[in-house]
Amino acid sequence: MNYSIGFDVYGTLVDPVDMGQHLENLIGDKASEFGQLWHDKKVEYAFRRGLMQQYVDFTVCTHQALQYCLNVYQLSLSSTEQQQLMARFAELSAFDDVIPGLMALSTQGHQLAAFSNGPEGSVRKLMNNAQVLQHLHHVISVDDLHTYKPNPDVYQYLMRRMHADMNSCMMVSSNPWDVIGAKSAGLQAVWVKRSQSKIFDPWEIQPDLIVSDLCELAAALKR
């Protein structure tokens, strides 16, 4: 069976925590810790704004999360320096399995889309810089609806944009909350468990499939 597959971007196709030397220059050996807090906080801010129905695009959530982290670590950056650091998000690298995995899935006949909380223009730039864009058929952003995952409306929107139904549309994400959101909206969903230390939320909703990377997903769908 051929699927219409929506891929979460940050954490599934690219690593949002890995800002490498950019964060190391800022905070030294606490760079990874800073990066994880920054990622977690921007997702939290999107959740909260979605619940409050006070939408701003994801760039604002990211910037406010950065300011929070700077306060936590008692660091000071000028507005220009903050914007320069924010711009590095367009330079994140794809995980090693992403391009070969997408190529295999496309060869199998599946329709592939980046499906993100981020604005479409930002996601396209990121995917292009990471050399992933050419392997996708669509880039779809929740910004079109002015709300965020895991609102069920966004998963319904994914199906409409990809001209798919619940049986043929699949969400692929490394974020358990995204998988649960897609499943609760009626889609099929795959959890990409990128680390053995990751634990899926102990809810009544479970993924249809668990894989370690996109190559494993392609192999599973080929069978």
Domains of the chain: 4-15+92-222 (3.40.50.1000), 20-90 (1.10.150.240)
Residue 34, beta-bridge partner list: none
Instruction: Output the six-digit token pair for 169.
Output: 């549309």
Predicted confidence (pLDDT) at residue 165 exceeds the cutoff of 70: yes
Task: Write the CA distances from 137 to 7, 111, 132, 191, integer angstroms.
Answer: 11, 6, 11, 21
Strands (E) in 86-185, as ranges, are 111-116, 138-141, 169-173
pLDDT at 103: 98
111-116 and 188-192 strand pairing: unpaired
Q: What's the pTM value of the predicted model, to 2 decimals? A: 0.94
Q: How far apart are CA 20 and CA 29, in angstroms?
A: 11
138-141 and 169-173 strand pairing: unpaired
pLDDT band at 20, cuts 50/70/90? Answer: low
Q: For 104-108, what is the mean pLDDT?
A: 97
138-141 and 209-211 strand pairing: unpaired
Predicted confidence (pLDDT) at residue 28 exceeds the cutoff of 90: no
pLDDT at 171: 98
Predicted confidence (pLDDT) at residue 132 exceeds the cutoff of 80: yes
Predicted confidence (pLDDT) at residue 94 exceeds the cutoff of 80: yes
Instruction: Give the full edge-to-edge strand order of the sheet including 169-173.
Output: 138-141, 111-116, 4-7, 169-173, 188-192, 209-211
pLDDT at 23: 83
Residue 184: enclosing H or E segment and its boundaries?
helix 176-184
Terminal alpha carbon distance of the chain: 10
Q: Tell me the torsion sign for CA atoms 79, 82, 84, 87.
A: negative
Which residues are known catalytic residues?
8
Q: How far apart are CA 176 and CA 198, in angstroms?
A: 9
Contacts of 173 (CB under 8 A, 6+ apart): 7, 8, 11, 12, 179, 182, 189, 190, 191, 192
